[in-house]
Every structure is written in C-alpha cells, then in structure tokens.
C-alpha cells in the first residue's frame, strides 16, 4: 500500500523555515517526508540511512540533527536510532478511529519510551482511553447505585439501619452497600429476637463512648461478619450497660471526692 506525507503550502512562509539555509530546508523536508516516517511522528532511522538517502556524509547529518534538536524541532535517540518530529502531533492529529488505531500500534513498537512520553504525555494513547473507560464505569456504577437504594428503603429495618449508619457518618446515596449490610444485620437480630436488646445496648454504647472519650469502632468492625451472624461485632464485644454504669459510678465518686476537698475546712 502506497504511503503519502503531505506538506502544506504555508510551510514555505513559516518564519522558521524562511530563516533556514537551503541545506537545512532540504534536510528538514527529508525528515518530514522520508520513507521511514510514521503516523505517530516517531520512526526508526539510522545516521547511515539518512546519509545515503540525502547524499550528505555522516558528519553533516549529525550536525543538521544537532541543529534541529537545539531548535526543538526534532529529538533523536542514538540508543534506539529513533527520531521524533516534535510538532508532528500538533499538525497531523486526527480523530479517525482507524488512524488512532494505527498510531497506537506504532507507539507500542517504539523502543525508546521517553519519546512516547514527550509526544503524548503518557506511555500510550491506550492509557488515556483506559482512563476514559474507567471513569465511564465509575459513572455507571454510581447510576446503578440508585436502584438498590430504592430497594433498601423498602426494607422493614431501613430506619434502624439509617440510625446506625448515620452514627458512623454514612450517607444513603454514597454508601448504599453499607446500608444494605446494616439492614441484613437487623434482619439477623430480628431472627434472634434481639432488636429491643440492641436498641438499648446501642444507646448505652453511644453514651459510654461519648463520656469516656474512647475511640468508637469502625462501621464493619462494629457490625461484625455476616458469615458469623454478626456475633463477632464490636456491639457484642462488651457489656456496654455495665461499662456505662461503672463509668457513671466512677464519675460520681470522683465528683464526691472533689466536693469534699472543696468543702474541707481547717480547724
């Protein structure tokens, strides 16, 4: 299949081109249109090949490459013999799926990966597309979350679950899976006939944590494991009634001692 490289007519009126010597103009045109050029703007070519095709000796080719590198028009990797046309993407970019697929294929074959980073700001265009796909999946996931929320709100135990979830700073729209788990938690308690017991225990738990300043459990560690019937949760790890009672007794005792010291009079 024949391969073509277009050269716009305004090329000759470009201030940079106008300032070049005939030798430099010829060599730059060669870099833009030689048989090794690719759609992605990075291609493999040796000094020897450039010398043979242009008729210049190796020293002249290297001097010309050095000139255009200093002018930030090209970048040449001596390690991989790959040349990067620095303005190629700017003047040849397209949204054609076929061309983009071609560019991706060519980029995947580039040996000096720093050249790819210089052109596209990342390792490959595919990474950019993967990022877009990931964002789209996240949006879909959020949209899908609306349906379970409506179902969760129909649960007999939604209000009780909401009471617990809000204590842990969880919002229905942002954490539907945790609300759902909490509904399962209360359904399990209901089977064990412990709903009223839990309500009283949870009230004691909150008061104890508030008065003592002790760190509360995390949401999952508080509920426990569904596979174990939630009996291993923090809610069931202590007798929170007794702990609250002991704390209040201690506070009353300390208050009484403080009061006696305050009211003490020397004789």
- Check whether residue 14 and residue 71 sit in a common domain: yes
Final residue belonging to a domain, choices 80, 101, 130: 130
pLDDT at 16: 93
Q: What is the mean pLDDT of residues 26-42?
A: 91
Q: How confident is the model at residue 141 (pLDDT cuts 50, 70, 90)?
A: low
- Check whether residue 60 and residue 163 sit in a common domain: no
pLDDT at 124: 46
Final residue belonging to a domain, choices 130, 159, 178: 130
The residue segments making up the domain with residue 248 are 147-263
Final residue belonging to a domain, choices 99, 130, 161: 130
Distance set, CA 261 to CA 146, 247, 258, 264 (Å): 61, 21, 5, 5
Residue 137 domain flag: no
Both tokens of 43, joined, read 């291609």
How many domains are contained in the chain?
2
Mean predicted lDDT score pLDDT of the chain? 83
Cα 93 to Cα 96: distance, rounded to the nearest angstrom? 9
pLDDT at 28: 94
Residue 139 domain flag: no
pLDDT at 174: 84
Q: How confident is the model at residue 71 (pLDDT cuts 50, 70, 90)?
A: very high
- Check whether residue 116 and residue 197 sit in a common domain: no
pLDDT at 41: 87
68-82, 87-101, 237-251: segment of lowest average pLDDT:
87-101
Q: Determine contact, residues 233/216, Cβ cutoff 8 Å.
A: no
Residue 267: pLDDT over 50: no
pLDDT at 44: 95
- Check whether residue 154 and residue 225 sit in a common domain: yes
Residues 6+ apart with CB under 8 A from 168: 216, 218, 219, 222
- Check whether residue 120 and residue 212 sit in a common domain: no
Kindly list the strands in the beta sheet with 42-44, ordered across the sheet, starting from the edge strand earlier in the chain. 42-44, 82-85, 74-77
Residue 141 domain flag: no
- Check whether residue 121 and residue 172 sit in a common domain: no
Total Cβ atoms within 10 A of residue 122: 13
In the three-class reduction of DSSP (H, G, I as helix; E, B as strand; rest coil), residue 14 is classed as coil
Residue 26: pLDDT over 90: yes
Check residues 5 and 162 and name the one with the higher pLDDT.
162
- Check whether residue 17 and residue 119 sit in a common domain: yes
Compute and round to an integer the Cα radius of gyration of the chain: 36
pLDDT at 131: 55
- Check whether residue 107 and residue 220 sit in a common domain: no
pLDDT tens, 116-130?
876 665 544 455 555
Q: What percent of the chain has pLDDT over 90?
A: 47
Q: How confident is the model at residue 96 (pLDDT cuts 50, 70, 90)?
A: confident
- Check whether residue 118 and residue 211 sit in a common domain: no
Residues in the chain: 267
- Check whether residue 56 and residue 126 sit in a common domain: yes
Residue 140 domain flag: no
- Check whether residue 179 and residue 247 sit in a common domain: yes
CA 129 and chain centroid, separation: 14
- Check whether residue 162 and residue 221 sit in a common domain: yes
Residue 66: pLDDT over 90: yes
pLDDT tens, 165-224?
999 998 888 888 899 999 999 999 999 999 999 999 999 999 998 888 889 999 999 999
Give the CATH number of the domain where residue 30 resides. 1.10.10.10
Q: How many CA atoms lie within 13 A of 49 on its CB side?
A: 13
């Amino acid at each position: 299949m024949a391969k073509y490289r277009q050269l716009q007519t305004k090329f000759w009126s470009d201030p940079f081109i106008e300032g070049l010597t005939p030798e430099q103009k010829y060599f730059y045109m060669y870099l833009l249109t030689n048989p090794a050029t690719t759609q992605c703007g990075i291609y493999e070519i040796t000094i020897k090949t450039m010398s043979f095709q242009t008729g210049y000796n190796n020293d002249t080719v290297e001097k010309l490459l050095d000139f255009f590198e200093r002018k930030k028009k090209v970048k040449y990797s001596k390690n991989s013999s790959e040349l990067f046309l620095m303005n190629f993407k700017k003047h040849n970019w397209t949204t054609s799926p076929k061309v983009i697929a071609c560019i991706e294929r060519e980029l995947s074959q580039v040996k000096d990966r720093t050249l790819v980073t210089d052109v596209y700001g990342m390792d490959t265009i595919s990474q950019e597309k993967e990022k877009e796909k990931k964002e789209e999946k996240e949006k879909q996931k959020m949209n899908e979350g609306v349906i379970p929320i409506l179902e969760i709100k129909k649960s007999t135990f939604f209000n009780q679950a909401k009471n617990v979830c809000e204590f842990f700073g969880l919002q229905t729209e942002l954490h539907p899976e945790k609300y759902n788990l909490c509904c399962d938690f209360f359904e399990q308690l209901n089977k064990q006939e412990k709903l009223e017991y839990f309500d009283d225990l949870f009230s004691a738990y909150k008061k104890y944590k508030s008065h003592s300043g002790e760190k509360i459990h995390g949401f999952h560690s508080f509920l426990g494991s569904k596979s174990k019937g939630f009996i291993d949760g923090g809610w069931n790890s202590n007798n929170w009634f007794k702990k609250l009672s002991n704390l209040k007794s201690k506070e009353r005792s300390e208050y009484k001692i403080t009061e006696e010291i305050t009211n003490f009079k020397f004789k």
